[in-house]
Amino acid sequence: MSKELTFASFDGTELFANLEIPTDPKALIVIVHGLCEHQGRYDYLAARLAAQGYAVFRFDHRGHGRSKGERVYYSDFNQIVDDTNAAFDRARLEAPSLPAFLIGHSMGGYAAALFGTKYPDKAAGIILSGALTRYNNPLMGPLPFAGDPHAYLPNELGAGVCSDPAVVEAYAADPYVEKSISIGLCNSFAGGLEYLKANPGAFTAPALILHGGLDGLVCELDSREFFGDIASTDKSLRIYAGLMHEVFNEPRKDQVIADVLEWLGARV
């Protein structure tokens, strides 16, 4: 079964979601997408997971894709983690008896890391991909920025997302990929990253941390440091030599997805 739906987040903001539930699912996966993109860019990953018996719930962040809210804007880092918590709770309504995992990419990995820190023990496990958990590559410059938080900067992330030119071209042409980023959203990263760095002992969930060795957007050192700092006793780190930022879209994506499926299979 596949369906589209909307749900209210913690403050009433309407968020768009997509749900796939195979026959007799064995676990639930909530996918959390990255900055300026949307849940539809995870069609391939969702299909692969569903084919192996996983229910998949994907949602668009507020201000992204088909969700409501000021475009590509957060006033505070708690908004993204509390939206993720609301999505997780909404997903659980569809499959309340199943173990529930998160897969978060890039800013979605940042959100998933915050979720695991602020809401420990809710997820059966958390998978991070190219997650912004430190700031070893100061891509946006020193944070926070001065200026109007409602002012916007151009989205210049496209060239760094993937080594496959077709993926880069599709990203640029995608009408649901946002073309600008608010200063408020950028500044919200500063508080969230400080929170993650100050509270690694609160993150105790089983964790699989993935990163492309050639990631030009988020430094793989972020994942190495986060892996070393968190309190999880069940944790694995995989740095993929030669892969760029979007490991689920790289030419070797099936290898990465196979690693995810193996990890999940050992925990359901």
pLDDT in tens, 97-142: 999 999 999 999 999 999 999 999 999 999 999 999 999 999 888 9
Of the listed 9, 64, 105, 106, which one is catalytic? 106
pLDDT at 156 over 70: yes
**Mean pLDDT confidence for 144-153:** 94
pLDDT number for residue 158: 67
Contacts of 149 (CB under 8 A, 6+ apart): 73, 75, 182, 183, 184, 187
Q: CA torsion sign, 44 to 50 to 52 to 54? A: positive
245 part of the active site:
yes
Task: Work out the end-to-end distance of the chain between its first and last CA atoms, rounded to an integer number of angstroms.
Answer: 21
Tokens, residue 223: 């994942």
**Mean pLDDT confidence for 201-227:** 97
Please give the share of the chain, as a percent, with pLDDT higher than 90.
93
- Tally of residues, the chain: 268
Tokens, residue 5: 């739906």
215 part of the active site:
yes
Strand (E) or helix (H) holding 239: strand 235-240
Of the listed 38, 61, 105, 245, which one is catalytic? 245
C-alpha torsion angle, residues 167, 169, 174, 177 (rounded to 10): 80
pLDDT at 266 over 90: yes
Q: Please provide the DSSP assignment of 166-216 as one string.
A: HHHHHHHH-TTS-SEEEHHHHHHHHHHHHHHHH-GGG--S-EEEEEETT-S
What domains does the chain contain, in order, with CATH numbers? 2-265 (3.40.50.1820)
Choose among 86, 64, 88: nearest CA to 74. Answer: 64
**Mean pLDDT confidence for 51-70:** 98
Choose among 226, 222, 218: nearest CA to 198. Answer: 226
Spatial separation of the C-alpha atoms in residues 256 and 190, rounded to whole Å: 30
Of the listed 33, 215, 222, 232, which one is catalytic? 215
Residue 231 · residue 203 · CB < 8 Å = yes
Residue 111 · residue 81 · CB < 8 Å = yes
Tokens, residue 121: 């023990």
pLDDT at 160 over 90: no
pLDDT at 9 over 80: yes
pLDDT number for residue 58: 98
pLDDT at 173 over 70: yes
| Site of tokens 């196979």 | 258
53-62, 79-88, 143-152, 231-240, range with the lowest pLDDT = 143-152
Q: Angle 69-72-74 (CA atoms, 0-180°, nearest 5)?
A: 75
C-alpha distances (whole Å) from 88 to each of 12, 57, 219 are: 15, 9, 27
Spatial separation of the C-alpha atoms in residues 215 and 236, rounded to whole Å: 19
237 - beta bridge partners?
209
